[in-house]
Amino acid sequence: MDEQNWLTMMQEQLQLKQVEDTNQYTEQFGLVLSKRDAQMLLTEKNHILKQQQRVEFGTSVLPQMIRAFCDSPFMAQHTYVDTLIGLQELFFLYKNEMQDEITDEELLNFMREQFDTVCCGDLEYLGSTCLEIFAQAIRAGYHDYAQMRGQNQFDKFDLVQRWDKELYLDTLRTLCGWR
């Protein structure tokens, strides 16, 4: 076995252990990955990296992603692996789309916040709307996200008016003639 294959194999074993070790934290939220699940996530991650023409050096972002999302009210054991695969796809796609201007932590913070709020756990909306709009802003030169580490940013770019209880009640009062 040549040195490069040996190093690759050692890196993969280390990443597998790091992903499996997240179970110690995530089991308190009812989420556990089997060894097969962890291997599948890493295989998918490597496929996504090739697809996005990216390279990951050192520690994988996957354990950080798992810890960032495991306590979301929209994570469930029966969709855990599929959701993590989808999150990985979005993460690496938007690292490219944002031209690596944003750190992993900032992107994960932004993704998690939108996943739990605006998106209500919908990966399609997260990717096609929230991340797309944010990426456009970053490519246009927006940098204020850094001081907030990617949090509390989407309101500045969201084009969709959200339901507002007070506005609804005011409209209802007006339409019904209530005071």
Best CA proximity match to 118, nearest among 88, 160, 165: 160
Average pLDDT value for the chain: 86
pTM: predicted TM-score of the whole model, two decimal places: 0.80
The average pLDDT across 16-37 equals 95
pLDDT in tens, 104-131: 999 999 999 999 988 999 999 999 999 9
Q: Write down the pLDDT at residue 25.
A: 97
User: Is 108:88 a contact under the CB 8 Å cutoff?
Assistant: no
Strands (E), 57-98: none
pLDDT in tens, 76-98: 999 999 999 999 999 999 999 99
pLDDT at position 161 over 80: no
Beta-carbon count within 10 A of 19 CB: 23
Strands (E), 102-161: none
Q: What percent of the chain has pLDDT over 70?
A: 82
Confidence of residue 5 (pLDDT cuts 50, 70, 90): confident
Return the DSSP state at 117.
Answer: T
* Residue bearing tokens 């939108």: 114
pLDDT in tens, 43-77: 999 999 999 998 887 778 999 999 999 999 999 99
Report the sign of the C-alpha dihedral through residues 24, 29, 33, 38, in that order: negative
Q: What percent of the chain has pLDDT over 90?
A: 56
Confidence of residue 165 (pLDDT cuts 50, 70, 90): low
Which DSSP string corresponds to the chain? --HHHHHHHHHHHHHHHHHHHTHHHHGGGT----HHHHHHHHHHHHHHHHHTT----SS-SHHHHHHHHTT-TT--GGGHHHHHHHHHHHHHHHHHHTTT-S-HHHHHHHHHHHHHTTSTT-HHHIIIIIIHHHHHHHHTT--GGGGGTT-S-GGGT--SPPP-HHHHHHHHHHHHT--
